[in-house]
Amino acid sequence: MITKFGKRFLTNFIAGNSSLSSKEMAIGIATSTEYPLADTNSRLGFEFYRIPIRQGGIDIDATSSPTKYTVIFSATLPTNIAGKINEIGIYSGQSSTRNIYDSKFLSNFELPYQWTPEPELDQVNSRVLDSSLTFTSNSTSPREYTYPILDLDISGYNPLDTMCLSYKANDANLSSVKARLYSRAFCRKQYKVFVYVSRCYGWYI
């Protein structure tokens, strides 16, 4: 699908007002249920990696009526990148708004020793890379796990920006999941809280 934002960009490109000399391919894990396909979409449901497109071509099928024109883009993922790819987006590699407040991947929840207390490593259930972490509580009170994110400046973002968390509820007893951002590790001044309500068994974003 070409969204309305893509149509606007292509219109500007044809008019000579924008460049498409460099392109990027974004890949994500969100399903159509978690992030429905719509003409108004401006991002992927959950992007976890972006790579430059190195080659492009066309395919013209004159055997069909009407003739079918297809654009083909190719890119190569690094060997250390893995995930359940459910969505792909093509973006211009040149953005007048790109700065240090562009999209950021905060954590892949893969290394248990980076967390306090240390969660369990799960090498069966994962959506990004080949493992995930299992966080548990004692079933009567919440339990907080902390993870240091060094040199993260979010002062340039605004209320229209979003933060996504992909997680799996292992049973129907999950009350809620809260992601807290603290301004400093030593003073633990709470900056922002994101609350994800109770869910049934399964994956969610």
pLDDT digits (tens, 9 = 90+) for 102-160: 677 778 788 899 899 999 999 888 898 888 999 988 777 888 888 887 777 777 777 77
Helix%, strand%, coil% for the chain, nearest 5? 5, 30, 60
d(CA 149, CA 153): 10
Q: Which segment of 23-27, 41-45, 143-147, 179-183 scores lowest on mean pLDDT?
A: 179-183
Is the confidence at residue 97, as pLDDT, over 60? no
**pLDDT range class, residue 66, cuts 50, 70, 90:** very high
Ramachandran bin of 155, using left for φ above 0, alpha for ψ from -120 to 50, beta for the remaining angles: alpha
Q: CA-CA distance, 38 to 54, in Å (whole number)?
A: 27
Model confidence at 162, in pLDDT bands (50, 70, 90)?
confident
User: For the purposes of burial, counting CB atoms within 10 Å of the CB of 166, is it exposed (0-12), middle (13-18) or buried (19 or more)?
Assistant: buried
- pLDDT at res. 99: 58
